Amino acid sequence: MQFEPKDTELENNYGDTNYAKDILLLFGTFLGLVVVLYAISGFTIDYFIDSLSLENEAKVSKLFSSIEAKTEQSEDEQKYQRVLNQLVAASNQSHKNFILKIKSGKIVNAFAHMNQEISIYDYVIDNSKTENEVAMILAHELGHYHHRHHLKALGRVGILLSISTMLLGVDSEITEAVFNTVQMVQMTFSRQQETDCDLYGLELLNKRYGNVTGATGFLTQIEKDSSDLESAVQYFSTHPHPKERKALIEKVIEERGYLYQKP
Ligand SMILES: [Zn+2]
């Protein structure tokens, strides 16, 4: 019998026209799987971190407390440290120690760091009309610790890096695309977290001062500042729009009958 080589040309599924489509489909499926995997592991992490006892939470936080050497506080830092301490004392986190730092820069933002350090820009303090306005910002940051957002974020970043590095290596362009997509999913989560912290801050402000005047001052500052496009884009990618945040805060103030003097 004579061997006749089969003509495979017509049976080839990877014709030039379909090739790009197949790759796209494959990539889309892959991306979808990564997002689903990431979401599932993210929720699992959130569940375990929420179940951590106060004792274990303190142990984990201690691991980070030595990250940055503590420097002497300036006079202003000492002043707002006292404001922070009084908020902490009125909160459900009075067993924790927080350190206040003031950074210099024309930036409307504040941060809650892993090592229980809360930093706020001097620009924000200078543009706040009252102590309560600053207190609301600090109370919001305390909300991030109450909800253990740092530990959750740390867990999620770990998962994300493990998945993408394991599957694709570190230098791949696909890793970057996957990373960006998952980052966008993460931002949606973080917008929810910001709302949760606004509500935590509002409740704490009321507990501490018996009124919530100044609760929206920071958001007004952000609105004014958003003329600076770069900082606005950076801020809005991780936070809900200040108008929405203000509206929600005002709605809750009314619902709960908190004392509040409109600015
Ligand atoms: Zn926040």
Distance from the alpha carbon of residue 259 to the mean position of ligand 1, in angstroms: 24
* Dist. CA 197 → ligand 1 center (Å): 6
Over the stretch 4-21, which tens digit does the pLDDT of each residue have?
Answer: 555 544 455 555 567 888
**246 falls within a domain:** yes
The strand pair at 99-103 and 117-121 is best described as parallel
Q: What is the pLDDT of residues 198-231, one digit of tens each?
A: 999 999 999 999 999 999 999 888 887 766 655 5
Token duo for residue 157: 């970043």
**What is the per-residue pLDDT across 52-104, written as a single tens digit (0 to 9) for each?**
888 888 887 777 766 555 678 999 999 999 999 999 999 999 999 999 999 99
Give me the pLDDT at residue 197, please: 95
The predicted pLDDT at position 23 comes to 85
Q: How far is the CA of 100 from the centre of ligand 1 (A)?
A: 16
- The mean pLDDT of the chain is 82
Give 78 Cα–ligand 1 centroid separation in angstroms: 22
Check residue 126 and give its pLDDT.
93
Identify whether 57 is part of a domain.
Answer: yes
Residue 231 lies in a domain: yes
Instruction: Say which DSSP state 24 is in.
Output: H
Which residue, among 95, 119, 90, 89, has the nearest Cα to 107 in the 3D structure?
119
Q: What separation in Å is there between the alpha carbon of 110 and the centre of ligand 1?
A: 8
What single-letter amino acid sits at 106?
A: K
Give CA–CA dist 102/231, Å, rounded: 19
Total of domains in the chain: 1
**Residue 166 reports pLDDT greater than 80:** no
Give the total residue count for the chain.
263
Ligand 1 centroid, distance to 192 Cα (angstroms): 10
- Ligand 1 centre from 48 Cα, in Å? 22
Answer whether residue 3 is part of any domain. no
Q: Is residue 14 situated within a structural domain?
A: no
- Å from CA of 103 to ligand 1 middle: 17
Tell me: pLDDT of 24 over 90: no
Domain-embedded: residue 263: no
Q: Mean per-residue pLDDT for 106-134?
A: 90
**Higher model confidence: residue 45 or residue 172?**
45
CA 263/CA 120 separation, integer angstroms: 22
Residue 109 Cα to ligand 1 midpoint, Å, equals 9
Stated pTM of the model: 0.78
What is the whole-number distance in angstroms between the Cα of residue 246 and the centre of ligand 1?
14
Mean pLDDT of 129-154: 92
Residue 165: left (phi > 0), alpha (psi -120 to 50), or beta?
alpha
- Residue 250 maps to a domain: yes
> Residues of the chain with pLDDT > 70: what percent?
78
What six digits make up the tokens of 102?
């003031």
Domain assignment of residue 5, yes or no: no
Using an 8 Å Cβ cutoff, are 231 and 225 in contact? yes
Buried b / exposed e across 208-247, counting CB within 10 Å, b at 16+? bbeebbbbbbbbbbbbebbeeeebbeebeeebbebeebbe
User: Residue 230: what pLDDT?
Assistant: 57
Q: Which domain holds residue 123?
A: 19-256
